[in-house]
Structure formats: C-alpha cells, structure tokens
Amino acid sequence: MTTQHQGFSAEVARARTIRYTWWLAALAVIVVISTVRLYTGADRITAPGTLRAAIIGACPILLAGLGGLWAERAGIVNIGLEGQMLLGTWGAAFFAYHYGPLAGVLGAALMGLLGGLLHAIATVSFGVDHIISGVAINIVGLGAIGFLAKTTFDDLEGGGPRNLSGYSTPPEFTVPLVADGARSLADRNWFIISDVAGAIAGVTTRLSLLTVLTFVLVGVTAWVLWRTSFGLRLRSCGENPQAAETLGIDVYRYKYVAVLISGAFAGLGGAYLAMVASSSFTVGQTGGRGYIGLAAMIFGNWRPSGVLTGSLMFGYTDGISLLSNSGVLVHALLLLVAIGLAVFAVLKLRAAEKITAAVMAGLSIGAFVWYFSSDSVNTSFTGMTPYVVTLFVLAVFSQRLRMPAADGQQYRRGGAG
C-alpha cells in the first residue's frame, strides 16, 4: 500500500513538473518572438491587427479540427471535413440571407451535419473505407454547393451563380477599456509587454460572437469527451470497440453521433468563413482549411488543447499571409522558424536521435541562410505559408503521437471474443 501511495504522489509531482515546463516553454516562446520582433524591426508580427487576423484565421481551422477530433475519438477518420465545411458555407449564406445571422449559423451546422450523416452511413453502416468516403464527400460537397449556389443565389440581389453577399453576420463587440488600454501599450514597442498587449488587443477588438462560441466549444468538447460518461463511451469506441461491445455499449450509435457532431462542427467552420472571415459567400472558399484542421488535430495529438495550439499556429500563418505587404512579415517569420528548428535539433540530439537532429539542423541552417540573404519573401510564396507550415509541422511532430487505437478501422458488430 505504501509503495502505491508513493507511486501516486510521484505521479502528482511529475504532473506538476510537466505543467511548470509548459509554462516555462510558453514564456520562452514569447521572449523569442519578442526578440525577433525587435531584431527584425517587423513590429507588425505582434501588432493587434495581425493577431486579430490570426484569430480569424485560426477559428475555422479550430472548428474543423475539433470536428475531426470528435469523429476520430470514436474511431472514424473524417477526411470529409473539407466537404462538410463547404456545405456549411452555403448553409450560412442561404439561411442568413433569408432568416438572419442566427439561422445562418444553425443552417451551416445543419448542412455540415448532413455531410456527416452521409459519412456515417457510408463508414459505420456499410463499412466503406473512411478515406474513400471522406474524399467522395469533399468532391460531392463542392459539386453540391456549386449547384445550390447557381439555383438559389443567381436571382438574388447581391448574388451571382457562384457567390452571394449582402446578408447579415453575427454581431461583433469590442471589450471597453481593456481593448484601448492594451492597444496603447502595444503601440509603445516595449519588449514582451507590447507583444502580450498586442495579443490582448487583438482578441478584445471587434470580437465576433462566433469567435467566442468557437473558443467555448473547445472547452465544451474537452468537458464532454473527458468528464462525462457519454464521452467515455464515445472514446472507448475509438480505442477498442470490441471491448465496448462486450460491456453492452451500442458502438454504432456512438459512432453515428460522433460523426454527426463532427460534421456540424465542420459546418460551423464553414459559417465562420462565410460570416466572420469574410461577409460574402463564394463557391470553394474553404481553400483546404478542412485538411489543415485535420492536420491541427494530428499535431494536437487528438486533444482539444493541442488542436487549439495547432489551430492558432496555422491561423497565424494563414492570417498574416492575407495582410498587405506580407512579404516582410513572412520574412521575419523565417527567422523564427530557423530558431525553432535549431532548438528542436538540439532537443533531438540530446534524445540521441542523430539523423533527425541532423535533418533539423540542416533545415535550420537553410532557413537562416534564406533569411540573411534576402529582405523579403516574394508575395507569390506568402500565400503558401499555411500549407508549407502544415507539411512541415506534421513532418517534425508526427513521430511521437498517440492516436486512438482503433482509429480508422472497420468495426463489425458481433466480432467480440
């Protein structure tokens, strides 16, 4: 009994150490960013406007990532997020135009949910390969909204065969005092303080209700999946459905529910694109964010907090690539990437993974060379930033991840024992 007790307190102590390490790492990241900002003179990398763009870039990815998380925690790979998001963009535009912004949000979720239903029927009931079904949904989703836009938007005022504008969007608000205070601090260009203030100002200025909802959903997802028996059952279907079955759990039902919720989240991501990131609908405006959401989920090790981190990172690169004169910003980012890679190479070297360390070091040197041999990154490249970062981050981080054990596997009832 005593040994068990010691083991227990050791566990607690370790958890505490891990938490400290995380805080220290976060602080170190801020210090590095701040230093890079002062050194490069690219003050805009932590300006409120940039960070606001980052949040707006992050939210659709975050919603897609959370959607992916719901499905994969139940063992279904939902690569159809992209298609479900596309359906969501149309749903948001259509319902918001006719019935107002709230209906737009709900309509987008509903359209995404329909996409999820299609995926659930294919993968859960008929045992279709998850990837094939998902890709089919992406293709069908694009075709469907093209058709729907042509038939429903062409005759509307502000509409065309492939676009629609002039509908109302969810309200935005600015937190009084905090936003102005933070903004004035941010303008001073003080080391660290201005960077943090910039982040606060970016978050509190012209904040959309849909953004608030998105961040609330991160907490809701974490709470439901890890603190309720419903969530436990859902996760068990992704870890070992046969075991769940022997305990009397209706695995099919939980998989269905999970994929439906997944689709609805992706639909909300579409709503965000069509209502907050821009105020108009265009066919195909997701631009692969469904896939990036999936990447954020994998980067986040199938956990809500990880998905949040990944989305913010992708959102940031996505956000700045849309700003004017982004070449200079991406150029400053290059230095940040070079430093990050160097740190990673050192960590890998200490873990005795020589080859990985060497590759990291090589890439790091490449990034340094690129940074010092140019003044700006060509604008043709800046648009690629989020995608390059996606590839890159997955290549670096996907080595020690733990996905749900039965993720992507076919499950048939009655196979237990």
Partner 1 sequence: MTTIDVEARGIGKRFPGVVANHDVSLHIRPERVHALIGENGAGKSTLMKILYGVQGADDGEIVVDGRPVTFSSPTDAIAAGIGMVFQHFMLADNLTIAENIVLGAEKRHGIGEAAKREIRTISERFGFGLDPDALVEKLGVADRQRVEILKVLYRGARLIILDEPTAVLVPQEVDALFANLRELVGQGCSVLFISHKLDEVLSIADDITVMRRGTTVGTADPARATKAELAELMVGSELPSPATAESTVTERPVLRLETVTVADETGREVLHDISLTVHAGEVVGIAGVEGNGQSELVEVVMGMMRARSGSIHLGDDDITRLNTRAVRDLGVGFVPEDRHRHGLVLDYPLWENRVLGHQTSAPAVRRGLVSRKGARADAQRIIEQFDVRTPGVDTSARALSGGNQQKFIVGREMSGEPRLLVASHPTRGVDVGAQAAIWDHIREARREGLGVLLVSADLDELIGLSDRLEVILRGRLTARFDPSTVTASDLGEAMTGGGVVAS
Where on the chain is the footprint of partner 1 (CB under 8 A)?
4, 7-8, 11, 227-229, 232-233, 235-236, 239-240, 242-249, 351-352, 402, 404-405, 414, 416-417
How far apart are alpha carbons 67 and 329 in whole angstroms? 31
- Closest separation in Å from C-beta 231 to partner 1: 9
Phi, psi of 165 (to 5 degrees): -140, 175
CB of 8 to partner 1, least distance (A): 7
Print burial letters for 270-282: b (CB count within 10 Å at least 16), e (below 16): bbbbbbbbeebbb
Give the shortest CB-389-to-partner 1 separation in angstroms.
27
Strand 163-165 with 280-282, pairing: antiparallel
Which two tokens mark 59? 């939210």
Comparison of 242 and 279: residue with beta carbon closer to partner 1: 242
Decide whether 213 or 249 has the Cβ nearer to partner 1: 249
Vertex 124 angle, CA 121 and 129, to 5°: 95
**What gap in Å lies between CA 136 and CA 127, rounded to an integer?**
14
Choice between 187 and 353, CB closer to partner 1: 353
Integer CA distances (angstroms), 122 to 84, 116, 155, 289, in order: 15, 10, 35, 23
CB of 198 to partner 1, least distance (A): 39
Nearer to partner 1 by Cβ, of 17 and 379: the residue is 17
Nearer to partner 1 (CB atom), residue 15 or residue 395: 15
Instruction: Classify 41 as helix, strand or coil.
Output: coil
Closest CB to partner 1 among residues 102, 416: 416
Furthest C-alpha separation in the chain: 77
Contacts of 131 (CB under 8 A, 6+ apart): 77, 79, 408
Residue 105, both tokens: 């949000």
CA 35 – CA 190 distance, rounded (Å): 11
CB 353 → partner 1: shortest distance, Å?
9
Q: How far is the CB of 245 from partner 1 (least distance, A)?
A: 7
- Give whichever of 7 and 176 is closer to partner 1, judged by the CB atom: 7
Question: In the bound complex, what is the minimum distance in angstroms from residue 76's beta carbon to partner 1?
Answer: 16
